[in-house]
Amino acid sequence: MCTAVSFNKKPRLFGRNLDLDRRYAEEAVLMPRNFAYPYASDIKISIKKGGFALFGAATVIGGMPLFYEAVNEYGLFAAGLNFTESACLKDKESGKLNLAPHELIPFVLSSCKDLSEAKRLMQGVNLTHDSVSDEYPAARLHYFFADGGGSLAAEPLSEGLLLTPDPLEVLTNEPPLSFHLKHASMYRALSPSAAPDNLGKASRGAFTSDWVSLGLGAFGLPGDLSSPSRFLRAAFTKLYALEKPTEKEAVNQLFHILASVSMAEGTVRTDLGFEKTVYTSVLSSESLTYYYTTYGDPSIKPIRFSERDLTKNTLVRYPMFDTI
């Protein structure tokens, strides 16, 4: 269970919560321009030599980074989010660009400068049920793509990889984005302002409240941690949270936005135990910085990559520290 958000005009930032009931060995990873990603054979041919560099969080298996989320050097962001019931992975199809789920993020981000290029590229993609190795099942995800100008969801459904514009610039989990957008329309009246006193007006003042509270203008916003409710809360908070001119302030704002949908351990039960927000990240392509907090350490820890890192040919890897 996860939440991804695109925020702020300039610098544009991208962030996500990773909510799980277990830990994988996440690292902050930069995949440089000259890294040879071990794509499945038929892709190898089509990939341009010398792709764009990207960085984000990944589990590295056999030298291959499996990205949770990443941004490339041009500010194109992608995140994978659980989509277990609806994901429809397919057999390879000739005439299509067949990609395993874990290949989508590195392939698109190393190939495309922006969202419109990504959209064009993904129109030819067929997402297959191939996995990174026999030990792992294929990842059942949908994907959030964003750049400085907009966002979309890429969702492997029965009709193919559906690309849906995402004007709310938020994605969580099930069901598909088209549901979340229609659902948000029900909540259109919510606002940070005081709730208008329509009951008082309708009673011509006979009924006057003996108390008020700031914040009642958003009463009705769901507060649970299911994916539709996180979508609404993240979208509302992102829409109204003040944008900021400096990266420091804007990064801080985006961590506050993501806090509104984060999970305290114990409040979401799973078969194995409880989900919690394992990490929260904010990515800036402008400063080549991967900011993160972990469940056990809420301080914002920046990992700053360098221009020189971009030109290497091996992964640049940093551990993500947690203190509990």
Catalytic positions, written as ranges: 2
Residues 248-277 touching a second copy, rule: CB under 8 A, are: 248-249, 252-253, 255-257, 259-260, 262, 264-270, 274-275
Task: Note whether 167 binds a second copy by CB under 8 A.
Answer: yes
Find the binding residues for a second copy in span 176-195 (CB under 8 A): 179, 181-195
Residue 158 engages a second copy in binding (rule: CB under 8 A): no
Does residue 308 bind a second copy (CB under 8 A)?
A: no
Which neighbouring-strand residues pair with 277? 19
Give yes or no for residue 140 binding a second copy (CB under 8 A). no
Angle subtended at Cα 72 by Cα 71 and Cα 74, rounded to the nearest 5 degrees: 120
Say whether residue 3 binds a second copy (CB under 8 A): no
Give residue for tokens 């309708």: 202
According to the binding rule CB under 8 A, does residue 321 interact with a second copy? Answer: no
Q: How far apart are CA 130 and CA 42, in angstroms?
A: 13
Sign of torsion, CA 106 262 89 126?
A: negative
For a second copy, the closer of residues 72 and 294 by Cβ is: 294
Q: How far is the CB of 9 from a second copy (least distance, A)?
A: 11
Q: How far apart are CA 82 and CA 270, in angstroms?
A: 14
Q: Cβ closer to a second copy: 160 or 217?
A: 217
287 binds a second copy (CB under 8 A): no
- Within 8 A by CB and 6+ apart from 112, the residues are 52, 72, 76, 118, 121
Long-range contact pairs involving 259-266 (C-beta distance under 8 Å, separation at least 24):
260/233, 260/234, 261/3, 261/17, 261/172, 261/225, 261/230, 261/233, 261/234, 261/237, 262/17, 262/19, 263/1, 263/17, 263/19, 263/225, 265/295
Q: What are phi and psi of 89, to 5 degrees?
A: -95, 150
Identify which of residues 110 and 280 has a Cβ nearer to a second copy in the complex: 280
Q: Which of residues 9-48 bind a second copy (CB under 8 A)?
A: none
Number of residues that bind a second copy (CB under 8 A): 93
| 55-114: contacts with a second copy (CB under 8 A) | 85-86
Q: Which of 17, 295, 305, 316: binder of a second copy (CB under 8 A)?
A: 295
* CB-side neighbour CA atoms (13 Å) of 41: 1
**What is the closest distance, in whole angstroms, from the C-beta atom of residue 123 to a second copy in the complex?**
18
**Near a second copy by CB under 8 A, which window of 62-70, 92-100, 226-234, 310-318?**
226-234
- For residue 46, give the amino acid letter: S
Pick the binder of a second copy from 34, 59, 131, 226 (CB under 8 A).
226
